[in-house]
C-alpha cells in the first residue's frame, strides 16, 4: 500500500518521531553550557536527562492500551500537545528541578511518537510490507537527530541552549498540525468483553512473555546505546577528550546520524531479501559494540577526527538493525494486538535506556567520559548474548 491516504498520514505521524529524536538528543551538543547554566555536574545532567526515557517507559502501558482502544489519531494529538508543554518547560527552565520536570513531561509526551506510526502501519499492512515500512518510519524519524547535530549545535552556539528547545517546540507544533489535517479518525474495531484493566494486563503480559524475552533483552540495551552515544556522551567525548570545538563536533555527530537515518531503511530492505532476522540483529549490535570500543581505543592514541567520524558512522549503521526487533515481534502477535505488544517492547527500549544512562553517569564519576561510553559497549555484548540464548 503506497497510496496517499496511507502514506501522508504515516509521514505526518512520523514527524512526531522526528521531533522526539531531536529534543531528546539535543543535550549531546549542549551538555557543557546546559550544565553550567543550571549549575550542575555532568553526572547530574545524565541523571536529569535519564528521566526522559524513564518517563517514556512508564507511559508505555497506558499508551499501548490507548492506541488499541481509542485509535491512533486522538492518542497522537494528545501526546504531541503534552510534549509541546515539556519543550516549553525545558526552554524556560530556571533550575535543575524544572529541567527534571521538563524531561519527565517530554518523556511522557514522546512515548507514542514511534508507536503511533508503527501501530498505524501494523494495522493495515501484512508482515512483509510492515518490515519494510517500519524501517522507513525509523529512518525518517531518526532524521530528528540530524537537526540536533550541526544545525542545533550552531543554534546553541549563537543563541544558547534554550533556543534549541524553542526550535524543537516549533517542530512539535508542525507535527500536531499535520497529523490533525491528514489523519482521519479510524475508530478501532469493537471487541466485546475487553476492559481497560484487561488491556493493561495484556501489555504487562506481553512484557513478561517468555517467547518474546530474547527480543526484549536486546531492546533493553539497544536504544540505550544510541541515546548514550548520540544523545549525551558523544558530544563531550569529541569536545573534552578529542579537543574539538562545538560546531566541528556537531559535524562528526551529523555523519553518524546520517547512518541512523539511512540504516533502518537498509535494514528493512536487507531483511526483506535475506530473512535471518536473529543473525542480522545479533551481528548489528556486536558491530556497534566494537565501534564504541574502537572510539575508546583511539582516545589515548590521539587518532584523528576522521577516525572518530568513521566509527560513529559505522556505529549508526550497525545499531540501526535494531528496527528488525519490530518486525520480529510483529511476526509473533496478531494485528489487533500490535499497539499493546509494540508498546510492551518499548518499555524495554526506553526502560533500558534509563537504567544504562544512570549507570553511565556513575561510571563517568569514576572514570570520565570513556568509562561512561564503556557502559554501553559492555551492555550491547551482554544483551546480544542473552538475545541469542533466548531468541
Over 80: is that where the pLDDT of 328 sits?
yes
Q: Using pLDDT thresholds of 50, 70 and 90, give the confidence band for residue 2.
A: low
- Kindly report the length of the chain: 391
| Cβ atoms of 125 and 327 closer than 8 Å | no
Provide the whole-model pTM. 0.74
Using alpha carbons only, how large is the chain's radius of gyration in Å?
19
pLDDT at 285: 96
Q: Using pLDDT thresholds of 50, 70 and 90, give the confidence band for residue 132.
A: low
Please tell me the distance from the alpha carbon of residue 339 to that of residue 133, in angstroms, as a whole number: 16
Helix locations, 93-126, DSSP H: 96-110, 115-124
Q: Tell me the percentage of the chain whose pLDDT exceeds 90.
A: 26
* Cell numbers placing 215: 527480543
Please tell me the distance from the alpha carbon of residue 14 to that of residue 113, in angstroms, as a whole number: 7
Stated as kind and residue range, the H or E segment containing 87 is helix 72-92
C-alpha to C-alpha distances, 26 to 103, 104, 179, 199, 276, nearest whole angstrom: 12, 15, 24, 35, 35
Tell me what the mean pLDDT of segment 28-54 comes to.
81
- Lowest mean pLDDT across 215-219, 274-278, 364-368, 387-391: 274-278
Amino acid at each position: 500500500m503506497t497510496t496517499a491516504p496511507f502514506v501522508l498520514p504515516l509521514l505526518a505521524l512520523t514527524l512526531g518521531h522526528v521531533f522526539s529524536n531531536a529534543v531528546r538528543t539535543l543535550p549531546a551538543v549542549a551538555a557543557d553550557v546546559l550544565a553550567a547554566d543550571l549549575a550542575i555536574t555532568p553526572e547530574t545532567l545524565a541523571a536529569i536527562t535519564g528521566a526522559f526515557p524513564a518517563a517514556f517507559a512508564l507511559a508505555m502501558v497506558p499508551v499501548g492500551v490507548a492506541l488499541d482502544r481509542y485509535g491512533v489519531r486522538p492518542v497522537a494529538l494528545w501526546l504531541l500537545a503534552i510534549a509541546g508543554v515539556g519543550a516549553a518547560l525545558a526552554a524556560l527552565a530556571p533550575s535543575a528541578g524544572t529541567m527534571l520536570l521538563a524531561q519527565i513531561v517530554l518523556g511522557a509526551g514522546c512515548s507514542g511518537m514511534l508507536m503511533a506510526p508503527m501501530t498505524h502501519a501494523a494495522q493495515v499492512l501484512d508482515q512483509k510490507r510492515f518490515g519494510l515500512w517500519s524501517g522507513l518510519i525509523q529512518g525518517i524519524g531518526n532524521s530528528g537527530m540530524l537537526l540536533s547535530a550541526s544545525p542545533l549545535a550552531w543554534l546553541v552556539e549563537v543563541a544558547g541552549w534554550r533556543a534549541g528547545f524553542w526550535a524543537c517546540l516549533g517542530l512539535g507544533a508542525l507535527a500536531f498540525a499535520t497529523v490533525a489535517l491528514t489523519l482521519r479518525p479510524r475508530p478501532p474495531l469493537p471487541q466485546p468483553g475487553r476492559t481497560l484493566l484487561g488491556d493493561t494486563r495484556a501489555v504487562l503480559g506481553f512484557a513478561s512473555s517468555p517467547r518474546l524475552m530474547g527480543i526484549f533483552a536486546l531492546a533493553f540495551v539497544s536504544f540505550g546505546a544510541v541515546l548514550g552515544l548520540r544523545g549525551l556522551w558523544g558530544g563531550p567525548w569529541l569536545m573534552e577528550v578529542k579537543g574539538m570545538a562545538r560546531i566541528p563536533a556537531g559535524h562528526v555527530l551529523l555523519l553518524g546520524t546520517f547512518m541512523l537515518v539511512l540504516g533502518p531503511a537498509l535494514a528493512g530492505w536487507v531483511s526483506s531479501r535475506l530473512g535471518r532476522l536473529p543473525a542480522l540483529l545479533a551481528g548489528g549490535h556486536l558491530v556497534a559494540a566494537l565501534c564504541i570500543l574502537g572510539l575508546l581505543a583511539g582516545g589515548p592514541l590521539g587518532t584523528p577526527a576522521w577516525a572518530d567520524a568513521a566509527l560513529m558512522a559505522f556505529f549508526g549503521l550497525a545499531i540501526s538493525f535494531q528496527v528488525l526487533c519490530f518486525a520480529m515481534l510483529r511476526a509473533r502477535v496478531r494485528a489487533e494486538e500490535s499497539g499493546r505488544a509494540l508498546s510492551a517492547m518499548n518499555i524495554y527500549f526506553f526502560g533500558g535506556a534509563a537504567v544504562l544512562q544512570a549507570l553511565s553517569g556513575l561510571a563517568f564519576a569514576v572514570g570520565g567520559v570513556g568509562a561512561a561510553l564503556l557502559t554501553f559497549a559492555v551492555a550491547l555484548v551482554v544483551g546480544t548474548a542473552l538475545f541469542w540464548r533466548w531468541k
